Structure 1
C-alpha cells in the first residue's frame, strides 16, 4: 500500500453486500451527478479502478438494473435495496462506489465536483 493510500470499507444497509476499496489519492474527488437515478438516490460517486476494489461478500445478493443505453450496470442488494456500488457508463474501467455507503470512521477528506448527468455527453467530455 502506498503512503498516501487508504483502505475503506462499506456495503449495503442490511450488511449482505460488503466491499473494500483502496483509495490512492490523498483527497479523492467525488462526482455529484444530477441524472434521474443519482438525484433520486443521493448517490455520491467515488471512482475506484477495478483492481483496487474487492467485493468481500454478497455477490449472490446483488441484482442488476439497466436503463437508457443499458451500458451502466446498477447493482442493488436484493434484500434491502441499497446500491452501494455499480459499473458506471462514464468509467468502464472502474466501479463507482457510493461515498454514503462507506462505513463510519473512514477518515477520507474529499472534494465534490458537480457532474451534469442530465447532459451526459457534454459532462463526460469534461471529465
Structure 2
C-alpha cells in the first residue's frame, strides 16, 4: 500500500470517528437541554395543548422525557405520536372538555382522545393499564420539532398486544 493511500485511509477513519463522537455529544447535549429547558421534574406541571388551543391539559410527567415510545398498533402508527406515560391522577383537563372526543376500536378498552375542532390527538387511556394515560409529547408547549427528532424513543409492540393473544 502506498504511503499516500495509507495517509488518506487514516484521515478518513479519523474524520469518521470524530464525526461519530460529535454526533453522540450533540444528541446527548440536545436531550439534556430539552429536559432542562422544559424543567421537567416529577412535581412540575407541564401544559399540553391541541393545535387550536381549545383543549388545554396539565400533566405531571413521572419520568420526564426519559421513557418515551411509539406504538406500532394500527391506530398509533397512523398518528405517529411520541408518547410519555402518566398516571391518571397526573392529568387534569383545564380547558376544553366539551371539545374532547375519543375513538375506540378492537376491544373498545383504550380511548384515543382528540380535539373535535382541530383533530389533534392529545392523549389516550391505555388498554394495558386504564389507570394511566399516554400523552402526545408533541403537544407539550415549548418543545420544537427539532427537539422531538432528537429524543430517544423505543417501539411498543401494540400489533402483538398481550390481550389479543388467545
TM-score range, shorter chain: 0.7 to 0.9
Query: What is the rounded CA distance, in whole Å, between the counterparts of 2:115 and 2:89 in structure 1?
Result: 22
Q: 2:31 aligns to what?
A: none
Stretch moving more, 43-52 or 21-30: 21-30
Query: What is the rounded CA distance, in whole Å, between the counterparts of 1:67 and 1:27 in structure 2?
Result: 28
1:50 to 57, 76, 88: 88
1:120 and 2:161 are equivalent in the alignment: yes
1:95 to 116, 119, 133: 133
Q: Does structure 1 retain, via aligned residues, the 8 Å contact 2:123–2:135?
A: yes
Q: TM-score, normalised by structure 1?
A: 0.82
How much has 1:105 moved relative to structure 2? 4.4
* Structure 1 vs Structure 2 CA RMSD: 2.4
Cα distance change of structure 1 residues 89 and 31 upon mapping to structure 2, 3 Å threshold: same
Q: TM-score, normalised by structure 2?
A: 0.64
How much has 1:57 moved relative to structure 2? 0.6
Query: What is the rounded CA distance, in whole Å, between the counterparts of 1:88 and 1:61 in structure 2?
Result: 20
Cα distance change of structure 1 residues 37 and 26 upon mapping to structure 2, 3 Å threshold: closer
Q: Which has the higher contact order (CA 8 A, sep 6+)?
A: 1
Question: Runs ≥4 in structure 1, deviation > 2 angstroms?
Answer: 3-7, 24-28
**Runs of 5+ unmatched residues, structure 1:** 123-127
**Runs of 5+ unmatched residues, structure 2:** 1-39
Q: 1:34-45 maps to which residues of 2 (within 5 A)?
A: 34-45=72-83
Q: Does structure 2 retain, via aligned residues, the 8 Å contact 1:84–1:97?
A: yes
Q: 1:18 aligns to what?
A: 56
Q: Larger helix proportion, structure 1 or 2?
A: 2
Q: 2:8 aligns to what?
A: none
Stretch moving more, 109-118 or 60-69: 109-118
Q: 1:125 aligns to what?
A: none
